[in-house]
Structure 1
Amino acid sequence: MTREDGPGRGAAPSEVVTDRAHNARVWNYWLGGEDNYLVDRAVGDQVTAMYPSIGEVARADRAFLGRSVAYLAGEAGMRQFLDIGTGLPTAENTHEVAQAVAPDARIVYVDNDPTVLAHARALLTSSPWGQTEYLDADVRDPGTILGSLGRTLDLERPVAVILLGILNFVPDTDEARSIVRRLLDAVAPGSHLVLTHPTLELGGSGNEEAMRFWNENATPPITARTGAEIASFAEGLDVLEPGIVSCSRWRVAPGEDPGPEVAQFGLVARKP
């Protein structure tokens, strides 16, 4: 299959909808990947025209993943990671970052997009000392997710729960808050929450209009939230320094260029 008519890694699974843009594939396009279709690139280009910094948001979110996972696997001593809404595999995935620091780290990826599923099983490998698993499940069903972790993760030991750019696809804030609470209630003290979420508070006059266009032309629909709403997801947790900030500003190494501040909050919080 050529770059012009579909993903470069092979034909789409039969259940993939290719006549409407999908977040995982558009995000892949913004990151420079090839697992996307003409409809994804068309919507991605239009969103970029309306909100030119969206590519910077995607790259900053990915860099935040690397920094936060490296911190957790290193200084924080985490050995278990639950990455929900993983998206299409690219470079420096969670297991690659974690296992570069701690080869015995165990990672479970969760997503419910068939395109992600098709590639994840082939690409999300593990070091010989650790383990990686993929679950086909929806973030709105934390019970199913938690009930499927026993083969890989021990919930009696700390787990890093990673929710990057996924709660924005749960439009009801109370439901999103309930999802986070259910997940964190199920894991041991010393577990961490890693979260990013789009906002209108940090961002550019075109952001709101671009989100409206997205919701009319792509799936799933997106919801922006305020810093206060995002802080409520970490209620009862100890938010690590520097707090809830643009994800491009979270623990950037001295001398490293953080790039522009982007309209995407990021936080890491510890369960006491």
Structure 2
Amino acid sequence: MLIRLGFEITHSFPEPTPMLLTLNLHDSRRADIAIAKELQTSPAVPLQQYHDGFGNVCTRLVSPAGSFTVSSDMVVRDTGWTDAVVPTAQQIPVYQLPEETLLYLLGSRYCETDKLVEKAWDLFGHTPTGWARVQAICDYVHDRIQFGYEFANATKGAAQALEEGRGVCRDFAHSAVALCRCMNIPARYCTGYIGDFGVPPSTAPMDFSAWFEAFLDGQWYTFDARHNFPRIGRVLIARGRDAADVAISNTFGPNTLERFEVWSEETFVEALIPR
């Protein structure tokens, strides 16, 4: 299938302001790009790209004073397959885990394992290890947290989200990641696009989405505690310990967000027709 996806984000700045952006597709999906107008700015400014410590594509720039827009529009090829489901995937003992996964066992800014470890073992210590345990965690988070854009809070971590029982997609992901780590399962936060493919269309405005990956049987598998069923057309932007590592933008000065639009929809032509 072909997916047209992109965004248009406009800020107003009182003075020239440095920015860091994490808005390019992840390298693992770059070969799938059929056609793209990728990361353009208006007015145009010099862009400097680099890979961060997690392998994500990041961009440095300095916004001029006034209204400044960052946008992207592309068509991406996708298999149309749902997320993999492998109930036989087993948990690997900590002493046998690859070194590169150990970081994802530790607490982080929004995944406070120290606050949740006792709760996690009380809830999931009796569940079968491996895929079944991760799914039990997803079921719990899905049932525990009520989704609503009005519940967004940039300083909310997993412990607060689970205590309040309210949040947005990042809170579902943070909560599941933290509980997995408490149970000695490496888990990492993901952000990207999920359109309404194979599900009833949502009336809410489109946004970037968050999910997570758990390390089982020697590889990373996708899980999504908010939707809690396999989805089609998931397109990755970045991975990290939590949302702090993959913020779509960091601005180093005062600004006002004026416009925020995201899209991800099926198309049938490898072309970009003006929206």
TM-score class, shorter:
under 0.3
The structure showing larger relative contact order (alpha-carbon pairs under 8 Å, at least 6 residues apart) is 2
Normalization by structure 2: what TM-score? 0.23
Which structure has greater strand proportion? 2
Normalization by structure 1: what TM-score? 0.24
Radius of gyration: which is bigger?
Answer: 2
